[in-house]
Amino acid sequence: MIVLAGTIGAGKTSLTTLLANHLGSKAIYESVSDNPILPLFYDDPKKYAFLLQIYFLNKRLDNIKNAQENKLDVIDRSIFEDALLFQLNADLGRSTETEVQIYKSLLTNMMEKLTELPSKDPGLLIHVRVSFDTMLDRIQKRGRSFEQISVHPDLYTYYEELNKRYEAWYASYDRGPKMEIDGDKYDFVESKPAADEVLKQIDAKLFDLGSLVG
């Protein structure tokens, strides 16, 4: 499976659609519009952070199972970066260290139970890196009210720190092959030439890995 990673507003969902269509594989999307916990979390992070994390854990495990059905299925966010987000919530006082440790222990145990799968790790992880300014611009453009700084001013600090931490997270990621796309340089959401170039870069990586032939 191919997994997209990156901060909020990086363009993961758009690239998931482009890539799955390009490869003729299945796109597996993060639960957002049908997520009953997410709006509650933005309204009261301290109350709902842990519940939201458990909700995502359940959904991410399903995504990993679903991505085994076809070669080169694409997931637009994965379980492998969730600990980063939840740790940030704890560091900002939105959850507790005890909750983080419980979540990490549960995550480890659940992943160990997936013994029937051919692989639990991505065949390729693609990190879409964007600047903080680009991140804020795209969050504003897509217009989800619960994500807007104008509605929740404290999100500015959360978004700023999240964007910084993704750099370190990607650098330390070691569960398999990885590559990085410059989301500032290549606006694949708005520009077809940029989208074509990004797909060309991903194809080259997949050929190097032996996942594509021809």
Whether pLDDT at 99 is above 70? yes
Report the catalytic residues: 76
Query: What is the C-alpha to C-alpha distance for residues 86 and 44, in angstroms, rounded to an integer?
Result: 15
Return the residue matching tokens 């900002």.
92
Question: 142 among the known binding-site residues?
Answer: yes
CATH of the domain at 66: 3.40.50.300
Whether pLDDT at 112 is above 80? yes
Q: Could you tell me if residue 157 is inside a domain? A: yes
pLDDT in the model for residue 118: 66
Query: What is the C-alpha to C-alpha distance for residues 94 and 145, in angstroms, rounded to an integer?
Result: 20
In this prediction, residues 176-184 reach a mean pLDDT of 96
pLDDT digits over 138-151, tens only?
A: 999 888 888 899 88
Q: Could you tell me if residue 214 is inside a domain? A: no
Q: Could you tell me if residue 63 is inside a domain? A: yes
Number of Cβ atoms within 10 Å of the Cβ of 163: 22
pLDDT digits over 125-138, tens only?
A: 999 999 999 999 99
Q: Could you tell me if residue 213 is inside a domain? A: no
Q: Could you tell me if residue 150 is inside a domain? A: yes
For a pLDDT cut of 70, what percent of the chain falls above it? 98
The whole model's pTM is what?
A: 0.90
Structural tokens at position 42: 């933005």
Average pLDDT, the chain: 91
Question: 113 among the known binding-site residues?
Answer: no
Q: Could you tell me if residue 119 is inside a domain? A: yes
Amino acid identity for residue 49 in this structure: A
Question: 166 among the known binding-site residues?
Answer: no
3-state helix, strand, coil in the chain (%, to 5): 55, 10, 35
Question: 157 among the known binding-site residues?
Answer: no
Query: What is the C-alpha to C-alpha distance for residues 34 and 94, in angstroms, rounded to an integer?
Result: 23
Q: Is residue 180 classed as helix, strand or coil in its secondary structure?
A: strand
Is residue 186 within 8 Å of 9, Cβ to Cβ?
A: no
Whether pLDDT at 161 is above 80? yes
Is residue 197 within 8 Å of 170, Cβ to Cβ?
A: no
pLDDT in the model for residue 214: 64
Whether pLDDT at 209 is above 90? yes
Number of independent structural domains in the chain: 1
pLDDT digits over 19-38, tens only?
A: 999 999 999 998 777 889 99
Amino acid identity for residue 60 in this structure: R
> Which stretch of 77-81, 85-89, 112-116 has the lowest confidence by average pLDDT?
112-116
Cβ contacts of 173 within 8 Å, gap of 6 or more: 5, 80, 125, 127
Torsion-angle region of 107 (φ positive above 0: left; ψ -120 to 50: alpha; else: beta): alpha
pLDDT in the model for residue 71: 82
Residue range of the domain that includes 20:
2-208
Q: Could you tell me if residue 159 is inside a domain? A: yes
For a pLDDT cut of 90, what percent of the chain falls above it? 63
